[in-house]
Amino acid sequence: MLASRPAVHPIEYPPEATENPRRVRMKDVQGMGGTTGGLALRLCQFIFAAAALCVMASTDDFSSATAFRYLVAAAGLQSLWSLALALLDIYALLVKRCLRNSRVLCLFTIGDGITCTLTFAAACASAGITVLLGNDLDNCKVSQCIRFETATGMAFLSWFAISPSFFLNFWSLATK
């Protein structure tokens, strides 16, 4: 047989461009769910929200103002949510699982957005009334005013701690 078989020249496939290099991807940024930074943020949120709840509930006449009652409710919801997610983070860290599922991220983002908005609204409303009573009307027992201010400050700190969680979850949901 004269005709030789064609030689085989394997052609290498070009590497598949699975990633668009312009896009920013965040894999394991501290502060996201399932990281130690995320757990620290959740614990901060829980501690500040619980402190706001306890300090406000310990005043005699918090129930006389709607905004103060609302602060107690919002801080309660915030502390429950943050405690639940802190426990989930501890579990994820223990079993070394990543909490980056799209549905889970979507749920966390919506929950964080709602609790963040409620806590911030409660903190702002309480701050408005505390400033009105303490500065504008000068009609506030000193011991009470300090407690109102402390509870409001704690609610603001809780909001400061939940904002990074919300934005990191939103960002990783967008870049998913």
Map residue 104 onto helix, strand or coil: helix
Number of residues that bind a copy of itself (CB under 8 A): 42
The DSSP secondary structure of 17-50, one letter per residue, reads: --S-TTS---SS-BTBTTSHHHHHHHHHHHHHHH
Task: Find the binder of a copy of itself among 28, 66, 91, 101 (CB under 8 A).
Answer: 66
Q: How far is the CB of 82 from a copy of itself (least distance, A)?
A: 20
Q: How far is the CB of 99 from a copy of itself (least distance, A)?
A: 17
Task: Enumerate residues 6+ apart whose C-beta is below 8 A from 57.
Answer: 72
Structure tokens at 153: 């400050």
CB 119 within 8 A of CB 159: yes
Task: Find the binder of a copy of itself among 30, 97, 141, 176 (CB under 8 A).
Answer: 176
Q: Which is nearer to a copy of itself, 92 or 167 (CB)?
A: 167
Rg (CA), the chain: 25
Q: How far is the CB of 89 from a copy of itself (least distance, A)?
A: 22
Residues numbered 111 to 150 that lie near a copy of itself (CB under 8 A) are 117, 120-122, 124-129, 131-132, 135-136
Q: In the chain, what is the straight-line distance between the N-terminal and C-terminal CA atoms, in Å? A: 59
User: Would you say the C-alpha torsion 59, 63, 64, 68 has a positive or negative sign?
Assistant: positive
Task: Find the binder of a copy of itself among 36, 58, 101, 175 (CB under 8 A).
Answer: 175
Q: Binding residues for a copy of itself, per CB under 8 A?
A: 2-7, 9, 11, 13-14, 16-20, 22-24, 64-67, 117, 120-122, 124-129, 131-132, 135-136, 167, 170-171, 174-176
